[in-house]
A = this chain, B = another copy of it.
Amino acid sequence: MIQAGVVGATGYAGAELCRILSGHPEAELAAVSSVSFEGKALSEVYPAYFHMCDMICGTEEQVVEKSDVIFAALPHGLSQELAAVCWKAGKVFIDLGADFRLEKEEEYQEWYANSFTHPELHKEAVYGLPELFREKIKGKKLIANPGCYTTAVPLALAPALRKGYIEKDGIIADCKSGVTGAGRKPTQGNHYPELNESFTAYKVASHRHTPEMEQTLSHIAQSPVKLTFVPHLLPVNRGILATCYARLKEGVTMEMLESAYAEAYGKEYFIRLLKKGQVANIKNVRCSNFCDISLHMDERTGTFIAVSAIDNMVKGAAGQAIQNMNLAFGLEETAGLKLFPPAF
């Protein structure tokens, strides 16, 4: 059994990692750490885990020592040092934070006000979006797991962009996220009475996930892509819905688009291309590693609309991280991840 450790296990992504790993046939949870809850059982923090995962939170060092693969679910900026330790120790390191996602240091500096402390490691890091970059991930030891929006949006647009069916400018990603994306720490904005029955946009056209999406889409388009990204906060726990708009190139038909998506994703276990007439819904992917995608066209205005839905904590975080682990260790890619979304 692969020994898996989780650093930052008491945050939402960390807790979800522990839960999903408990059902993995070839990996098992070896150790967990938490700065805030060191010495406490995970089930004291999450009573839902009582009797299922009562492991005591230790230190980062203990996790590294006991694990073959270390998942880091840390605030941005805290992963580089840990990655260096793991790299030296020959361990696989999968970072759920942003430290290794951006390839260009100047972008990292601009959006995160931080620099590359270990530039040599950034050369080793691969971007862990398997449906787009699978071959690069296999067997790697340092994987930057994408963020939630940055999974949902590129998956929705990649096939159309790769085929050159849509214009590379004027793309709009209007996204709506469940509240768990904002983390476990209580804030005024996420206090129940303030968020309940509310809905708004935030960080309008200024969210840090913007350059990450552009980087991915530029690789796919093989030339620079810019987009306008506006995230919104939904009064639900889980899920991201990305409604993506792009101008269609002349002569592109719905059939051509459907073929492009079928070709790109037809064999992907975790992507479900919906049938005509259906629209992706966050409800249908809850607690699963699926990304549902529906394709639409506004013929009146020549606009392509792709709607994608993921569970921000699974395909948008913990599930995809385990998918990357499976690729890194040469396991079946779906191992431990055939999660059946509940109907309600």
| Chain A contacts to B: CB under 8 angstroms | 12, 15-16, 19, 22-23, 46-53, 169-170, 172, 174, 176, 178-180, 184-188, 190-202, 204-205, 210, 226-228, 230, 232, 234-239, 241, 243, 245, 247, 272, 274, 278-288, 290, 292, 296-298, 300-301, 303, 305, 307, 309, 313, 340-344
Contacts and interface: CB of A to CB of B under 8 A. Distances in A.
B344 A12 contact: yes
A19 B343 contact: yes
A200, A286, A341: residue with the most chain B Cβ atoms closer than 10 Å: A200
A148 to B, nearest CB: 14
A187 B169 CA distance: 40
Contact of A340 (B22, B176, B280, B340): B22
Nearest to A23: B340
Contacts of A169: 301
Contacts of A23: 340
Q: Which of A47, A179, A286, A305 has the most CB of B within 10 A?
A: A47
Given A196-B237, A199-B283, A283-B198, A272 B50 contact: yes
A301 B200 contact: no
B186 A301 contact: no
B241 A48 contact: no
Nearest to A290: B51
Considering residues A197, A279, A282, which has the most beta carbons from chain B within 10 angstroms of its beta carbon? Answer: A197
B192 A179 contact: yes
A226 B48 contact: no
A317 to B, nearest CB: 12
B342 A19 contact: yes
A169 B19 CA distance: 43
A340 B200 contact: no
Nearest to A177: B199
A23 B301 CA distance: 44
Contacts of A282: 197-200
Contacts of A239: 197, 199
